[in-house]
């Protein structure tokens, strides 16, 4: 893995640094980053599970974002995080008292990294406390809940962002640049494979009340979101079919494998798969009249590997969550406009599509999407 210093040096001199300088913190001048003395986004993380640990460790390398607080229902986790990340007692909360964060001027935003079904109420509470909310994806368990979250944040005059880390990944952005500049020609087809064999049958991701579903609410959303940003449009119809071979592990309402298809207003189509029962599925492929692009792996923690009809993509890897938090700090503190949106409205679009996929599975028909 390249070091952060190597990444900055190489990316500054690369084509993507030129093309996306307005959008990528890590394409900025290395010296400017090292000498950065501007505002810092002070973040509390809610939910101290495995992914929260990944985010926290990645934030050690951020210049514009800093972990300053925690919210957890497990006192032992709080003590551990206090020790590891030097978090003061006054910035530690549990799920009962975290509304008091409104009286803490040392916290600007709360990153909600809890089971999907908890997101709505927790984000609304964060908004009412007057803090910006960053919510892990999927933002909720359906579009209605997502809209409630957007409305609450607007009412409280705070921002809502969703943890779309791939929206800042350099190889992904290079393919989008190629598509936007016409190098691929008219886009005709997208394929997205997202899946792995899930383990512990008792984990919350296989509990409908906490997850809102199964593989679609965890890994399938990457293909949904990827189809949209690779093609550059929102789908206007969806079809889907579910396959369930293990009904003991995958209870009613917890999908094991779903194959789904989209149609887009420009004529492109997408064919995708989301599964909890197959490994080695992490691939995006986009085909246009003039050329193609492929990412495999396409959404894992990295390194992402990519190639196009012009050759291999060689942009160096940097920890996705570091870039994400650096960029989100710039959005919240500086009003920066990312190339790919990461706001609540972006998250809501994916929720509307997931609702449509589940409806298509249930009815066996084509479901129209209206925007």
- The Cα 42–Cα 206 span in angstroms is 33
**Residues facing residue 243 across a β-bridge:** 257
What is the C-alpha radius of gyration for the chain, rounded to an integer number of angstroms? Answer: 20
Which strands sit side by side in the sheet containing 41-46, from one edge to the other? Answer: 92-93, 65-71, 41-46, 109-112, 132-135, 160-162
Nearest to 51 by CA among 183, 204, 173, 197: 204
Residue 356 CA to its chain's centroid (Å): 20
Which of 137, 171, 349, 352 does the annotation list as catalytic? 137
Those residues whose C-beta lies under 8 Å from the C-beta of residue 34, and which sit 6 or more positions away, are none
How far CA 34 is from CA of 145, 153, 317, in Å, comes to 41, 33, 19
- The Cα 318–Cα 315 span in angstroms is 9
Q: How far apart are the first and last CA of the chain?
A: 41
**Residues facing residue 236 across a β-bridge:** none
Determine the 3-state secondary structure of 364 from DSSP: coil
- The Cα 11–Cα 17 span in angstroms is 6
- If residue 271 lies in a helix (H) or strand (E), which one and from where to where? strand 269-275
Which of 26, 222, 229, 292 does the annotation list as catalytic? 222
Determine the 3-state secondary structure of 34 from DSSP: helix
Torsion angle, alpha carbons of 258, 354, 149, 139, to 10: 40
Determine the 3-state secondary structure of 165 from DSSP: helix
Would you call 137 a catalytic residue per the annotation? Answer: yes
Would you call 164 a catalytic residue per the annotation? Answer: no
- The Cα 220–Cα 276 span in angstroms is 10
Those residues whose C-beta lies under 8 Å from the C-beta of residue 207, and which sit 6 or more positions away, are 115, 254
Residue 334 has a CB neighbour count (10 Å cut-off) of 12
Pairing of strands 132-135, 237-243: unpaired
**Catalytic annotation, residues:** 137, 222
């Amino acid at each position: 893995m390249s070091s952060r210093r190597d990444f900055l040096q190489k990316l500054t001199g690369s084509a993507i640094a030129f093309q996306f300088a307005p959008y990528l913190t890590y394409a900025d001048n290395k010296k400017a980053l090292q000498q950065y003395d501007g505002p810092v986004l002070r973040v509390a993380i809610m939910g101290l599970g495995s992914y929260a640990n990944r985010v926290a460790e990645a934030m050690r390398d951020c210049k514009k974002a800093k972990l300053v607080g925690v919210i957890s229902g497990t006192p032992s986790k709080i003590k551990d995080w206090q020790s590891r990340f030097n978090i003061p007692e006054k910035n530690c909360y549990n799920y009962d008292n975290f509304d008091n964060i409104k009286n803490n001027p040392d916290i600007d935003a709360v990153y909600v990294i809890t089971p999907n079904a908890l997101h709505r109420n927790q984000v609304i509470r964060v908004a009412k406390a007057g803090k910006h909310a960053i919510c892990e994806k999927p933002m909720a368990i359906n579009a209605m809940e997502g809209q409630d979250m957007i409305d609450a944040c607007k009412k409280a005059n705070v921002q809502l962002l969703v943890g779309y880390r791939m929206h800042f990944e350099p190889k992904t952005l290079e393919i989008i640049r190629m598509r936007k500049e016409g190098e691929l020609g008219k886009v005709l087809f997208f394929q997205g494979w997202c899946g792995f064999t899930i383990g512990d049958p008792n984990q919350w991701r296989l509990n409908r009340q906490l997850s809102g579903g199964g593989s679609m609410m965890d890994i399938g959303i990457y293909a949904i979101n990827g189809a949209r940003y690779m093609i550059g449009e929102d789908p206007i119809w969806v079809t889907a079919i579910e396959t369930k071979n293990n009904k003991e592990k995958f209870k009613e309402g917890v999908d094991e494998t779903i194959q789904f298809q989209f149609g887009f207003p420009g004529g492109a189509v997408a064919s995708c798969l989301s599964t909890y029962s197959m490994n080695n599925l992490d691939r995006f492929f986009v085909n246009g009249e003039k050329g193609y692009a492929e990412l495999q792996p396409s959404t894992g923690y990295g390194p992402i590997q990519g190639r196009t009809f012009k050759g291999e993509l060689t942009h160096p890897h940097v920890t996705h969550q570091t870039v994400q938090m650096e960029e989100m700090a710039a959005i919240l503190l500086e009003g920066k406009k990312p190339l790919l949106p990461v706001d609540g409205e972006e998250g809501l679009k994916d929720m509307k599509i997931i609702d449509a996929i589940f409806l298509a599975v249930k009815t066996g028909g084509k479901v129209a999407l209206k925007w």
